[in-house]
Structure 1
Amino acid sequence: MMDLRPASPVTGTCSGLLYQGNDWNFEILRDCYDAVADIAERELGLTTYPNRLEIITSEQMLDVYTAHGMPLGYRHWSLGKRFIAHENAYRRGMMGLAYEVVINSDPCISYLMEENSATMQTLVIAHAAFGHNHFFHNNRLFREWTNASEILDYLEFARGYIHQCEERHGIAAVERILDAAHALQGQGVHRHSGSRRLDLRAEQQRAQARRLHEEATFNDLWRTVPVDEEQQPDTTSNDPMRRRLGLPEENLLYFLEKHAPLLAPWEREVIRIVRMIAQYFYPQPQLKMMNEGCATWVHDYIMRRLHENGRIDDASYLEAIHSTSNVITQPDFDAGGGPSFNPYALGFAMMGDIARICTSPTAEDRAWFPEIAGNDRPIETLKHAWAEFRDESFILQYLSPAVMRRFRMFRIHDDTAAPYLLVDAIHDDAGYRDIRRTVAQNHDPANMNAEIEITGANMHTDRMLTLEHRTTRGHQFHADDARRTLQYMADLWGYGVQLLERDADDGTVLATYEATGRGGVRRG
């Protein structure tokens, strides 16, 4: 492991090869880091968290895969299952391993495989320790939703707390809660509520205050009080109970943590841990293309400059080019590419295209991007885009006709009622704009997760919980998946749960699912 402080002010440019051949040692690695940092900070002006590099084996890299890249985490059976699946695929040659994994933390942790050559170690330092690190440090979405300085402390707290729960209540009881929370974690985030940064000290204080409040207010006699059915409030927005519960609520885990009648205090805290970790990772899928495009563009620039400065030889530079080419390959539609784009390929192409537009614009570029065309400030323009956009808005702002032509993009309208496919957006001005909107929609976070809300909770009689899924015909849940996931919801709620699938346009109920706290599920 290497803890690397920010590089000292640059006093000059070193000369001479950093290494020759494939072998490396820690002295060479330090020299490579310093050379990369010199270019990243002096020429590109990148700002980063302090770096920590960890050299690991291929088996340890499989462990990192299993834990979603995090160095700390609580135990769960699914991690072992995932490790075995990855290991079997790797041993059989069905999958390769990443050259590196990087963590959005302070310090920023980059894992480098010890099997890498000296060139690949240099490349991944540029890619992860400076490209990804700069993006983590500066992008607005990461700054507003995450706190890199606290995630490692929170993960350590979470692991210790869940371990204590396993000792006190048994592994089976803890896994029951974790299984259900994991199944619902995609719907366990606040998407529209502003900043939700992790604060370990505040989290611990809130947990203690919540336990004291529950102990002070609990009275088992209240459940024996009879209720007059005629005095039951309705389920409209005028119902004070709905207002008190904050309905409708999009964050299912948050609602369960706060209002599930039968959960013990430790069970609520376990749900909160899963919810807070899911919240931390929430921005990453929205920034996948930009994040990888930024890191790939940065490492490509730095490796080229190292070669131009005589720090790496021709063989090493060719190795770097070969690796980058493999990463940014976009398979054809018929070769397995399908309708999706390789995020490395599209991101890198758009970054390079922005730099070209800033320095050598065409007449078309000037018409489409008058604000940046010919401004001769490519690095400043890229850094602004990396800081202020997410994938959806970045594509809407910067995807150019030149990149669309390079990727041979066109749009097909598939009407299931028609016996043919209609190509309705081609390479003309209107077509370019339609294609750009369609590609951006594929990166819209609203399309990544189903739109589900808790809309009603009958707390006066049977405590039936009502959820609604807003969708369109032909885009409904798979019945088996809906049943299984809804049962996890019922297990945590403790009483009946119903899910209504409604047409987003006219409100028609398309399907109904129900689950009970004892495991029965039926579809209406």
Structure 2
Amino acid sequence: MQYTIKELEYWNKKIEEKVKQFGLNCYPQEFEIINYNNMLSYQVYLGMPSMYPHWSFGKNYDKLKTLYRHNLIGLPYEIVINSNPCTAYLLKENSLLMQILTMTHVYGHNDFFKNNRLYIENTNPQHTFEMFKSHGDRIRGYIDKFGREEVEKILDAVHSIKFQINLLEFIKENGEIDSWKKDILGIVMEQTKYFIPQIETKIINEGWASFWHYKILKNLELPQSLYLEFLNRHNAVVAPNKEKINPYYLGFEIFTRLEEAYGTDKLFEARTVERDESFIRRYLTKELCMDMNLFQYKIDEKTFIVEEISDEEGYKTIKDTFRKSVGMGSIPFIELKDIGNKTLLLEHKYDGRELDLNYVGETLKHVVSLWNHKVILKTKLNKKSIEVICSKDKEISYV
């Protein structure tokens, strides 16, 4: 290591003083330093070492390790858990400055977890690790009793529709499946509900943490050698991305401009009440759209067509499309419409974005595995209504 634990403790104390001075309201903070192999594992298991076992975690681990080995991706500098006390894992290989910046960034996430309404209303941080450990123990118990293959079949099915909470709850309450399978549905639903606020606040949460690590480190009286590295590292974190929108950059820019226009109180108000969709709707300005060179495109018969650019009028369409695609807006909304003769009738709320029919067919097979009867999904293809039917024998047809 390029630093000692005593150095980290010294800087953590100074950071905490600034956190309180600037008015952030955090849970008690705990840090754990881990090596890159552990960071890969924790990243795969979403920061939960006691996560239940499933083949997909091993697959993701091999994929991430391969990409990392070939320098196609970098490891996260930290993983932060929405828990009380708040737990964060720091990458051992970080430089001293990166540990200082990362710890400060963590306090931003900590404050966001504690004070944003989505987390307050939908999570119980006092019991986070207890919940995941209980889930892991129960799944392992079912594996011991019924075999890994049987348990993973149910997990595969539930994972395929885990964000369709209205549908999972109905199957859990009314499905003709064993009680242990219903318990697995409940486990996946509970964990999904825990993670949904993080999905809904990726941009605003990272923007908040980036804004405060920048503001605090500027006031931390860093030695000149560390200060220069801080500027370089920060600029890399919030740098625009030519291929996709960098959530750190967008969130940081919005908060920076909000402070300039309205003052600090407005920042805390936004942190408390907004999610990505409303954050973008309220605060993504025409000027920022133009500065970011945002544009909207479509692919028609493999031809790339630009539909809108960020000019005086086009930015409104781009902003509207963007806000509808963030958070849970990126996931198709499936509504339970009816149940007759044990057939489950579902409807995709079409908003101009079509479903991949091959994916739909495979997903409906998983739904049938849970429901044990025919399932029909209504959607649109080329603006025409169609029905995708999956029989009890898992045969797919289209009407």
TM-score per shorter chain, which class? over 0.9
How far off is 1:510 after superposition? 2.1
Distance 2:376 2:317 in 1: 39
CA contact (8 A) 2:388 2:396 kept: yes
Matches within 5 A, 1:182-261: 182-187=159-164, 189=165, 251-261=166-176
Q: Which residue of 1 aligns with 2:45?
A: 67
**SS state at 1:150 partner:** helix
RMSD between superposed Cα atoms in Å: 2.3
Q: Which residue of 2 aligns with 1:292?
A: 206
Deviations along 1:137-156, one digit per CA (max 9) or x if unpaired, are 11111111111112211111
Aligned mate of 2:250, from 340, 346, 349:
346
Deviations along 1:144-184, one digit per CA (max 9) or x if unpaired, are 11111122111111011111111111111111111100111
**SS state at 2:60 partner:** helix
The letter of the residue matching 2:56 is S
1:155 maps onto 2:69 in alignment: no
Aligned mate of 1:458, from 320, 323, 340:
340
CA contact (8 A) 1:500 1:509 kept: no
Distance 1:450 1:97 in 2: 30
When structure 1 is superposed on structure 2, of 74-83 and 399-408 the one drifting more is 399-408
CA contact (8 A) 1:119 1:316 kept: yes
The letter of the residue matching 1:24 is Y
Q: Which residue of 2 aligns with 1:437?
A: 320
Distance 1:385 1:415 in 2: 35
**SS state at 1:185 partner:** coil
Change over 3 Å in CA distance of 1:291–1:421 after alignment to 2: same
The letter of the residue matching 2:391 is T
Q: Which residue of 2 aligns with 1:427?
A: 311
Q: Which residue of 1 aligns with 2:392?
A: 517
CA contact (8 A) 2:286 2:310 kept: no
1:392 maps onto 2:277 in alignment: yes
**SS state at 1:471 partner:** coil
**SS state at 1:283 partner:** helix
1:380 maps onto 2:258 in alignment: no
Distance 2:296 2:68 in 1: 36
Distance 2:334 2:37 in 1: 39
**SS state at 1:468 partner:** strand
TM-score normalised to the size of structure 1?
Answer: 0.72
Deviations along 1:300-324, one digit per CA (max 9) or x if unpaired, are 1111111xx3xx2112111111111
Deviations along 1:61-87, one digit per CA (max 9) or x if unpaired, are 000111122232101111111111111
CA contact (8 A) 1:64 1:70 kept: yes
Q: Which residue of 2 aligns with 1:485?
A: 363
Q: Which residue of 1 aligns with 2:68?
A: 90
CA contact (8 A) 1:131 1:296 kept: yes
Distance 1:379 1:71 in 2: 38
Distance 2:108 2:35 in 1: 23
Aligned length: 398
Q: Which has the larger radius of gyration?
A: 1
Distance 2:305 2:68 in 1: 39
Deviations along 1:457-507, one digit per CA (max 9) or x if unpaired, are 224xxx22211112156x322121011000000011111112121589xxx
Matches within 5 A, 1:494-513: 494-502=372-380, 510-513=385-388
CA contact (8 A) 1:470 1:502 kept: no
Distance 2:88 2:174 in 1: 40
Deviations along 1:94-129, one digit per CA (max 9) or x if unpaired, are 21101111011111111101111111111110001x
**SS state at 1:282 partner:** helix
Aligned mate of 1:277, from 191, 196, 212:
191
Change over 3 Å in CA distance of 1:420–1:139 after alignment to 2: closer
How far off is 1:517 after superposition? 3.2
Distance 1:324 1:353 in 2: 17
Distance 1:494 1:410 in 2: 45
How far off is 1:425 after superposition? 6.0
Aligned mate of 2:122, from 145, 164, 168:
145
Deviations along 1:359-385, one digit per CA (max 9) or x if unpaired, are xxxxxxxxxxxxx3xxxxx32221111
1:467 maps onto 2:377 in alignment: no
How far off is 1:292 after superposition? 0.3
CA contact (8 A) 1:49 1:107 kept: yes
TM-score normalised to the size of structure 2?
Answer: 0.93
* Richer in helix (by share): 2
Q: Which residue of 2 aligns with 1:192?
A: none
Change over 3 Å in CA distance of 1:482–1:279 after alignment to 2: same
Any stretches of 5+ residues in structure 1 without a counterpart? Answer: 1-21, 190-250, 358-371, 373-377
Distance 1:399 1:519 in 2: 46
Distance 2:90 2:373 in 1: 48
